[in-house]
Structure 1
């Protein structure tokens, strides 16, 4: 299975979870790994399900994962503040690999921020984005993640879904990158999706982005802007022996010939 989510994956996940989790009530919180939380939620008329937040994935599950016999201090802190609260909103921050969960109670408002890049992190904030708790203290040149600090987003990247053709040309000008590297890093799409776009456009991924003809850029630009409207729905890809290969928001041509199973949600 692939080991990371793209920004487009996160966008689709946030949209789905915003619908699925609205009105769910927190029953309990567990830290089940160094960078993994299990939030047990109650859904009226349905019962309990678990929201799993890890460093490189998110899911809503009915599968019972084991919990440690003694809660961590972070889990205890989250229990103290979140038990009984309702999830009111789930959203992506810009076009980044960050998902925010908004919790509300009778007299409280909290924000849980899942950063799904690098080693990952889960940051617990109050209504003013003051950090109350954090899985891992982190520090960069441009920001610090620690208790008592105000939470700031990392520097914003490009949102390719809103990029116009002139903006694309400006990014390409002077670039020495090959096509797939440009799509993955400069357009914030990740390597797997970058390769898929090259395949659909009929462009060799190792060509320099600056070498593409105007007609090739036109085709690539249309594919990029159409990413938010691709049809077909989420799929699970398996090899001939039934081993899972990838969970995808839509079918990739890269995996044609393997077993493809449509799923109801990503």
Structure 2
């Protein structure tokens, strides 16, 4: 499979040379020892000053294809199954991060709605005041354990199955249209407990208390 090079769009002025960027095409197979997610993240940006990473100054245009999410889910499941969840943050209007840890160390899972999901060992600056949405996620998921990560069918959706505080949760990351993040109670038929935005279609409604239905 061929991964097309992403494009960086500067959304606001930044200091000279804060980022080194290269354009490339990367081919890989399921037997490759190269980490897909590491390759994706490296292709996005390589900070010239690793300790001065300011994600709020950058917008990444790199919506991935359905099949690419299959490999992303497979890799993330292998790396983060059994990991413990730390704090969750909303970095910008569209960018979220979830801190996780396992025997390999600490990681930050980054989500930019609706464009991509990736992970890094680097720290990403976060606002000090969390929103009500983030507080609700923290209350339910902090210190929880990721049981598995999967892609339903070939949808542009990643599902984190999580056990926390005696409950089974499904964290749904929708990476299409405007994007969305939903936390569902697996013990109540995947009823939506927390969601980033309410949405409604003729045959599908996303709001608290409704059963989550795939597109």
Say whether the fold is shared (TM-score over 0.5): yes
Q: Does 1:57 align with 2:116?
A: yes
Q: Does 1:104 align with 2:166?
A: no
In the alignment, is the contact (CA less than 8 A) between 1:36 and 1:53 conserved in 2?
Answer: yes
Q: 1:134 aligns with which of 195, 198, 201?
A: 195
Name the structure with the higher strand share: 2
Normalised to the residue count of structure 1, the TM-score between the two structures is: 0.56
In the alignment, is the contact (CA less than 8 A) between 2:142 and 2:164 conserved in 1?
Answer: no
Name the structure with the higher helix share: 1
Q: 2:98 aligns with which of 33, 36, 39?
A: 39
Unaligned stretches of 5+ residues in structure 2: 1-6, 8-60
CA-CA distance at 1:4 after TM superposition: 0.8
Normalised to the residue count of structure 2, the TM-score between the two structures is: 0.68
Which structure has the larger Rg over C-alpha atoms? 1
CA-CA distance at 1:108 after TM superposition: 1.3
CA-CA distance at 1:36 after TM superposition: 2.5
Indicate the SS of the match to 1:151: coil
Aligned to 2:29: none
Deviations 1:93-118 (A, max 9, x none): 11110110011135111110011111
Deviations 1:142-196 (A, max 9, x none): 1011111111011xxxxxxxxxxxxxxxxxxxxxxxxxxxxxxxxxxxxxxxxxx
Aligned to 1:68: 127
Unaligned stretches of 5+ residues in structure 1: 155-266
Q: Does 1:145 align with 2:206?
A: yes
Cα distance in structure 1, aligned partners of 2:157 and 2:134: 21
Q: Does 1:4 align with 2:63?
A: yes
Q: 1:86 aligns with which of 145, 160, 163?
A: 145
In the alignment, is the contact (CA less than 8 A) between 1:35 and 1:135 conserved in 2?
Answer: no
CA-CA distance at 1:32 after TM superposition: 1.3
RMSD: 1.2
